[in-house]
Structure 1
Amino acid sequence: MDKEKLDKEFEKLWNETPLLHSDSEKEASWEEFQSKTFDAKRPKFKIWRYAAAAAVIIFMLTVTGIYFNRSPLQDAFYLTSNTIENNTSIIKTVALPDSSRVELSPDSKIVYANNFETNRKIIVEGEAYFKVKKDKRHPFQVFCNETTTTVLGTSFTVQGNVQKGVTVALYEGSVQMNVKNQNKKWILKSGEKFMYGNNIAEVAEFNRFTDFENEKLSAVSNYIMENYGYKMTIPQEYDNQRITVRINKKEDLKTIVQLIAEMYNLNFEINENLKHITFR
């Protein structure tokens, strides 16, 4: 029934009620009733506004899906803007933006994101030793071939070869190892190494220390030269001095030098330009 017919039906019913009010009162009451019951036509919804809002929501969800479905390795590549290569014949020391340190072996390369302080992901080709600064909010991840090494703060080496094999040797702390397309994870402890190749992963122990048992101090001098490239000069009266000490193979050079100085009550000076250590 259309509005006009409905008005007439309501008016007929209204007029049939007992005449308790005057005609003018009834007329006023009827107009008030009609105005409240039949509002003016409401404007049609502007569908395009809701469609636009829906489109924005769909776009946001799509972008979010792309972001969270991207793998860490893809994300690292996507944000990459720093590549460091070592084309020399000696180890190259690199200070990362988060104050972590990398000792990059010859013919090796690292790639990391421009926002590395908050996106601590780094790709290794070749071999590198990492001394990682602790940051619980931003785990440190190293990608090499099909493996991912995740750490919070520790020191370790990562070595990859052309056959896609990887060896991770842990010197301090702990790391978690993952392999692409595998659900299993491996937690390494200090002194353990993870080896992966030909789709086979295994964990084994290794000797992370160099021991000197009642040897001449000159033996430590030779060790420092071979492993750090620094020549060490000691007073002549200490040439035959004996030493017993255990050194982490990846220990900071300055830590070793300080240890020797304290053991023999000596002062020292390190000349970085000449790569020379002098004890007095």
Structure 2
Amino acid sequence: MEKENFDDEFDKLWNETPASHSDEIKKASWDEFHSKTFAEKKRKSQPWRYLAAASVFIFVLIGTGIYFNNQPLEENTIASTENVIENTTSKIKYVVLPDSSKVELSPNSKISYGNNFALNRKIQIDGEAYFKVKKDKQHPFQVFCNETTTTVLGTSFIVKESENEQITVELFEGSVQMNVKGQDQKWILKPGEKFTYGNQTASVTEFSRFIDFENEKLTNLNHYIEENYGYKVIIPSEYLNQKITIRINKKEDLKTIVQLISEMYNLNFEINEDLKQITFR
């Protein structure tokens, strides 16, 4: 609309207001309004207007799940500020996560997770690790390895990435859901099942999650503890040739195994964490 026409229309509207004021007052008010509204002088910019508009714009974008980023928003996004734990030794590294979940990190492996891990339990792994997850229904535990995602609530399992980028997940306790990036199919594992993914092919097979000692010398179990848990076992000489028959979970807590031996042979024990040594008496 042209400025002159706009003036005429607005002047009509102004004069249609109630006649509670004199024409002189209305005329003075109109002139003041007109001079401020259509002043020839360029008005100063008002940054707050643009800030307000930007706030609305950002709100709309967040509400629709759209973010400005160099990478698309994906399910396996880990917080930009990460905690990285790497095992450069030749022995298993024991890690306690912020949510009290436990990790046995194999040599030449590493894990990374965000600073808000207790509320957003997402963790990236390169290599191999055994997870014993603290149960938390409100915050599912997710492990990302290459293109696979393992989602759990509370369980124990191993995630391993081989040199040829083949991923295997072995479930010892509880249940896990497996997802592959770009695929709609989901795999629900039961204890004793192994998920394998490689060359864009997924499969589920069974594996033995137990180890059996059938009428074997007690020293064989001691050697197993030393090799798999890193603790030296000292036992009275009169028990060295004792026989034992037992089935244990390959990822059983060390203290549980030690307590079983103690009860079966009526022995006391002491665990020295500094020396990594178990002594039966």
**Is the structural similarity TM-score above 0.5?**
yes
Distance in 2 of aligned mates of 1:86 and 1:230: 19
User: How far off is 1:79 after superposition?
Assistant: 3.0
What amino acid maps onto 1:226 in structure 2?
A: E
Equivalent-residue separation in structure 1 for 2:182 and 2:196 (angstroms)? 17
Q: In structure 2, which of residues 64, 73, 81 is the aligned counterpart of residue 70 of structure 1? A: 73
**The residue matched to 2:116 in structure 1 has which SS?**
coil
Distance in 2, matches of 1:233 and 1:5, equals 105
Cα distance in 1 for residues equivalent to 2:165 and 2:54: 44
Conserved? CA contact 1:80–1:111, under 8 Å: no
Distance in 1, matches of 2:62 and 2:163, equals: 36
Quick one: structure 1 residues 248 and 2, their matched pair in 2 at CA, closer, same or farther if it must change by over 3 Å? closer
Specify every segment of 5 or more residues in structure 2 that has no aligned partner in the other structure, as ranges: 1-7, 38-45
2:87 alignment partner AA = N
Q: Aligned letter for 1:60? A: F
Contact 1:122 1:142 in 2 (8 A): yes
Displacement after TM superposition at 1:5 (Å):
10
TM-score of the superposed pair, with normalisation by structure 2: 0.80
CA–CA distance in structure 2, aligned partners of residues 2 and 81 of structure 1: 63
Secondary structure at the residue paired with 2:220?
Answer: helix
Kept after mapping to 2: 8 A contact 1:146/1:164: no
Structure 1 CA distance for aligned equivalents of residues 165 and 156 of structure 2? 22
Report the CA distance shift for 1:195/1:3 in structure 2 as closer, same or farther (over 3 A): closer
Residue identity matched to 2:208: N
The AA in structure 1 aligned to 2:272 is N
Moved more, 261-270 or 205-214: 261-270
Q: What's the CA shift string for 1:141-181, capped at 9, x where partnerless? A: 00000000000111100001233210000011000000001
Q: Distance in 2 between matches of 1:124 and 1:4?
A: 72
**Deviation of 1:271 (Å):** 1.1
Aligned to 2:76, the other structure's residue is in SS state helix
Higher helix share: 1
Letter matched to residue 94 of structure 1? V
* Distance in 2 separating the partners of 1:150 and 1:53: 41
CA contact (8 A) 1:91 1:103 kept: yes
Match of 1:61 in 2: 60
Matched with 2:189 is 188
Q: What residue in structure 1 maps to residue 4 of structure 2?
A: none
Whether the 8 Å contact between 1:104 and 1:129 is mirrored in structure 2 is yes
SS of the aligned residue for 1:79 comes to coil
Structure 1's unaligned 5+ residue stretches are 7-32
Quote the offset at 1:230 in angstroms.
1.2
Q: Deviations over 1:227-279 (max 9, x none)?
A: 11211111222222221111100111111101111222211001112111101
Secondary structure of 1:66's counterpart equals: coil
The offset of 1:34, in angstroms, is 4.1
Which residue number in structure 2 is paired with residue 15 of structure 1?
none
Checking the alignment, whether the CA contact within 8 Å between 1:167 and 1:193 is kept in structure 2 is yes
Q: Match for residue 212 of structure 2? A: 211
TM-score after normalising by structure 1: 0.80
For the structure 1 residues 51 and 242, does the alpha-carbon distance in structure 2 shift closer, same or farther, using more than 3 Å as the test? same
SS in 2 for 1:255: helix
Identity of aligned residues (%): 64
Q: Distance in 2 between matches of 1:173 and 1:80?
A: 31
Which structure would you say has the larger Rg?
1
Q: How many correspondences in the alignment?
A: 255
